Amino acid sequence: MKRDQVPGTNYIIFQEEEEFKYTSDALILSSLVKGGQRALDLGCGNGILSLRICPRFSEVHAVDKNKNVLEAFKKSIFLNKLEDKINLFEEDIFNLKNYYATNYFDAVVFNPPYYDYKNMKFETSQAKHFFDIEKSLYIVNYLLKNSGSLYIIYPTYRLAEVIYKINKNGLKVKNIINIHGNKNKKAKSSIIVAKKQANFGNDFRDFYIRDGLEYTDEMKRVYRNEVILWFIFAQHL
C-alpha cells in the first residue's frame, strides 16, 4: 500500500498500487464542491474526495461497501486525525434510507461505477458489478436538503442518459463541465452539478487539464484544492 500526499492539503492518503488509485477526474470533481454543514461521499473508495472537501464542511460522511478500500481509508483518517470530521460507514448505498433522515445533506459527491453491465465480459473488483445509477439517484434526492447539490462525474458518451435520469429523479441539472485531457482532445468525462428544488440550468462549459505540455490555470487551481466552479464559468462570460 502506497502513502501519498493529497494535492492541495496537508493530508496523507493510503492507496493500493494496482487498484482504486485516485485520478485527476476525482481532483477536479472535488474542486467543484462548495462548502456547507454536511457532505456525503457516496461510494467513497480510498477517500480522496472526502479528504479534499472536508476542510469546507463541518462533517463529511463517507460510504462504501468494499472492505479493502475502506481499510486503506481508515488508515488515512487515523493518520490525519480526522476521526471527528469524517464519519466512515461500511454499507451498501441503496440501504442508506435506513440510516439517514431525508433532507440531511447539503452536498452529495458521487463518482459512480460507469460500467455497462450489458456488455461486460469480466470483472476485476466489486465496483464493476452491475450498478443501478437510477436507483442511486433516487437515494440522493431523498438524502439531499432542499437546494442541496449533487456533484457527479460520468462518461461524456453517456451524458444524455445520466442527465435524463437525474431530472427524472427529482433533481435539476444546473451545470455541465466536460473534461478534456488536452486542448486538442475530446472530452471523456463530464461533471454534472444538480440541485434539489431548483430551476433547470443546463449551462455547458469545457475544462482542459493541459494546454500542450503545461497544466492550464484551471488545473493549477485544482491542484491547490481551490473551489473552481465560479472560476470556470467566469472565464466564459
Range of the domain at 112: 2-234
Q: Summarize pLDDT for 53-98 with one digit per residue, the tens.
A: 999 999 999 999 998 889 999 999 999 999 999 999 999 999 999 9
Torsion of CA 194, 200, 206, 207, to 10 degrees: -20
**Quick check: pTM over 0.85?**
yes
Backbone angle region of 140, left / alpha / beta, with phi > 0 → left and psi within -120 to 50 → alpha: alpha
Q: Give the chain's domain count.
A: 1
Cell readout for 216 is: 492550464
Cell readout for 19 is: 487498484
Rounded to whole angstroms, the Cα distance separating 236 from 227 reads 17
Rounded to whole angstroms, the Cα distance separating 81 from 147 reads 31
Cβ neighbours for 54, distance < 8 A, ≥ 6 positions apart: 39, 60, 82, 85, 86
Residue 198: per-residue pLDDT: 83
Residue 10: CATH number of its domain: 3.40.50.150
Low-confidence residues of the chain: pLDDT under 70: 18-20, 114-130, 230-237
Rounded to whole angstroms, the Cα distance separating 142 from 122 reads 33
Q: Summarize pLDDT for 31-47 with one digit per residue, the tens.
A: 999 999 999 999 999 99
* DSSP one-letter code for 197: S
105, β-bridge pairs: 144
